[in-house]
Structure 1
Amino acid sequence: MVDVPPPFIPGAFVGTAHHYRVRVYFEDTDLSGIVYHANYLRYMERARSDMLRIAGIDQRAAMEGGEGTWAVTDLAIRYRRPAKLDDDLLVVSTVEAVRGASVVIAQRILRGPDELTNGHVTAAFLSPEGRPRRQPAGWADRFTAIMNGETIPC
């Protein structure tokens, strides 16, 4: 008999913030056992992608349908404390601004009550030709609802 693993548990919204858990694995660390700096960006990217999926923003359908895709156009990150092997981290993401073709998301990576990293990301929606384009219908409304703590229209 084979045990069936529990279903995948994604992140979740807690008020206006999206919470996403990450475990630090050996492959995430450098020779000193500390998380390599670029991996914090990967954790943040996973959290943003999960937040969009939960909000009903189907990035894959937009890309495959020829509407376009998101691209990071601005990023600021600050490293405050190191994460280490086997740490249980929480990535907290909040929408700070919504524009016609872009969104600004603030993110913090926490280990318990300690903030390890924080950053701000601006993502622009681009046409297949790589030019800024208005977000697909309804996406800006979803981001605004998230920002305001409203029920996400699905």
Structure 2
Amino acid sequence: MNRFTHDIRVYWEDTDAGAIVFYANYLKFMERARTEWLRHMGVQQQQLRDDTGGMFVVTETQVRYHRPARLDDLLRVSAELKHMGQASITLVQQVAMADDPTRKLAEGTIRIGWVEAATLRPTRMPAALLGTLERHRAPSTAETDPRP
């Protein structure tokens, strides 16, 4: 598995007064897809925190919006690991219409870092987690992210 997808329905709470998805909610959709991506690999974030004392935090986002989603639309949100360092990973994500995944609504690059949960200080990811992520990295990205 390299590119993971997760379908999300647009509800009233996701929209503005015009029944169009509020721009910041695309980040929520991407967060849900990243969480389900990890879960699909067998990584439960609360269990990981309990076992290791560490957790992921978003450190950087870049999102480009192409067209709006509307109330009741079914969206397909993808997550693909592109770069991996010892203390962070970078994913490329897209939000598209589920019935036509070529119809992109938004796309972004999200960098998440690994921190000690108690202090929020950056630290290296556990070896087992690095191994799991390595097995799911896109094959075209042999290089690692130069940032920690």
TM-score range (shorter-chain normalised) is 0.7 to 0.9
Contact persistence 1:96–1:147 (CA under 8 A): yes
Tell me, in whole angstroms, the C-alpha distance in 2 between the residues paired with 1:31 and 1:54. 35
Alignment of 1:40-51 (within 5 A): 40-51=26-37
**Displacement of 1:108 after TM fit?**
0.3
Per the alignment, residue 132 of structure 1 pairs with: 122
Contact persistence 1:22–1:90 (CA under 8 A): yes
Range moving further from structure 2, 137-146 or 19-28? 137-146
Name the SS for the 1:139 alignment partner.
helix
Contact persistence 1:110–1:117 (CA under 8 A): yes
Partner residue of 1:146 out of 132, 136, 141: 136
Q: Which runs of 5+ in 1 are unaligned?
A: 1-14, 150-154
Contact persistence 1:72–1:123 (CA under 8 A): yes
Per the alignment, residue 123 of structure 1 pairs with: 112
RMSD of aligned C-alpha atoms? 1.3
Q: Which runs of 5+ in 2 are unaligned?
A: 140-148
Per the alignment, residue 52 of structure 1 pairs with: 38
Tell me, in whole angstroms, the C-alpha distance in 2 between the residues paired with 1:24 and 1:38. 13
- The AA in structure 2 aligned to 1:133 is T
**Displacement of 1:59 after TM fit?**
1.5
Tell me, in whole angstroms, the C-alpha distance in 1 between the residues paired with 2:38 and 2:13. 26
Per-residue Cα deviation, 1:22-70 (whole angstroms, up to 9, x for no partner): 0111111100110011111111000000101111223112322452111
Q: Percent identity?
A: 33
Alignment of 1:87-106 (within 5 A): 87-106=73-92
Contact persistence 2:58–2:113 (CA under 8 A): yes
The TM-score with structure 2 as length reference comes to 0.86
Per the alignment, residue 152 of structure 1 pairs with: none
- The AA in structure 1 aligned to 2:18 is S
Per the alignment, residue 19 of structure 1 pairs with: 5
- The AA in structure 2 aligned to 1:138 is A
Contact persistence 1:67–1:136 (CA under 8 A): no
Tell me, in whole angstroms, the C-alpha distance in 2 between the residues paired with 1:58 and 1:23. 23
Matched, 1:30 2:16: yes
